[in-house]
Amino acid sequence: MSAEPLPPPLRAAAASSGVAILSAEFVPETARASTDKVAELVLPQATKAVTPFEVRVPEAALDDLKRRLAKTRWPERETVGDWSQGVPLQKAQALVAYWRDNYDWRLTTHGR
């Protein structure tokens, strides 16, 4: 079962928040848009008002995410003791374990 694609406004929000890396089907809107389509983009007037919104993520998508996180293929440990080769393996593994086992995805999507 495939997750429903995000509507364009949520794609932009997901991309800017880092959530995009969690979706295997995510394709940034700008990657699909030609320069003509970008020229047609009309944004609402900016205000200081906060506009509430609700994110709906099917349970199947969260289950799929947890399965994919559990199946992560990890590289060999870095050969240096600093971040010069990227995120240390132990830090990445701890973050993925937190997302998979402890993070309350429903709190984020339902605003409990």
Do the beta carbons of residue 53 and residue 9 sit within 8 Å? no
pTM: 0.50
Instruction: Return the higher-pLDDT residue of 93 and 5.
Output: 93
Measured CA to CA, the distance from residue 90 to residue 25 in angstroms comes to 27
40-86 pLDDT per residue, tens: 778 778 888 888 877 888 999 999 999 999 999 999 999 998 999 99
Measure the CA angle with vertex 34, ends 33 and 36; round to 5°.
120
Q: What is the mean pLDDT of the chain?
A: 75
Quote the CA–CA distance of 95 and 87 in Å, as a whole number.
11
Residue pointed to by tokens 């609700």: 54
